[in-house]
Amino acid sequence: MSGTRLNKYIASSGVCSRRKADELIENGAVLVNGKKVTELGFIVGEKDKVFVNQKLIRPVKHLYYRFYKPAGYITTCDDEKGRKTIYDLLPEELYILKPVGRLDKDSTGLLILTNDGDLINELTHPSVKVPKVYIVSVDSKMHQHEFEQMAKGIEIEPGKVAYANVTVLEVDNKHTLMQITLYQGLNRQIRKMLEYLGYEVKSLKRVQHATIQLDGLKRGEFKPIKPQQIKELKNFLNRVKKNV
């Protein structure tokens, strides 16, 4: 039977990920042609009308962008405190895109923006160990035993242990420049780890998320991610998920 699985159809509309779509279907929040559907494998055709929480949905074309976040902007679409957000730097037609993960106000670098709910879920789900690479500097000399401590784990909050792999790029008596790779998504993870060790971050820039890199972008600039790069990213995620 030709058609599309209902959860994929819902995810392709940008409403949520497939996993969340399954929950909506099971909870009776989905109607197809006016009838409630709770079967996860249900197939819909092009002429079928699908409603989620009484709202008609339509599949939309998935868009994928790289964005170089400057310092001073928060990673959200709206802020109650009136602070500048990344959407102040984006054209209105890209407001439908959501960031994959976050960078705090003072951090810079790569954000992947997309309306592909499945991809967002796969890149951010705790069970999938996706590497995120940062260039970080502090204004003091750090030592090998501290890098080893970061790799072994630091409890940054009660019950939350953070891990980081560090490669030293430059070090002298006045500063340390390093490449830090994370496989977690804890809030302000790098800053909290370094604060625990007694250091203050002077600059923090994300340069890579999974297979997508910052190279070729200027601060505040955004560019579409090429289809071949998206294919490589999804192939990478499939390999990573096999090892979960």
Show which residues are catalytic: 104
Cβ pair 79, 188 in contact under 8 A = no
Ramachandran sector of residue 14 (left: φ over 0; alpha: ψ -120 to 50; beta: rest): left
* Amino acid type, 58: R
Tell me if residue 162 falls in helix, strand or coil: strand
Query: Is residue 148 packed enough to be buried (19+ CB in 10 Å), middle (13-18) or exposed (0-12)?
Result: exposed
Separation of alpha carbons 244 and 240, rounded Å: 7
For residue 231, what is the enclosing H or E element? helix 227-242
Separation of alpha carbons 77 and 163, rounded Å: 29
Q: Please list the residues that pair with 133 across neighbouring strands.
A: 181, 208
- Sequence-distant (≥ 6) Cβ neighbours of residue 59 within 8 angstroms: 4, 9, 12, 13
| The token pair that represents 222 in the structure block | 């955004």
* Amino acid type, 224: P
Phi, psi torsion values for 157, nearest 5 degrees? -150, 160
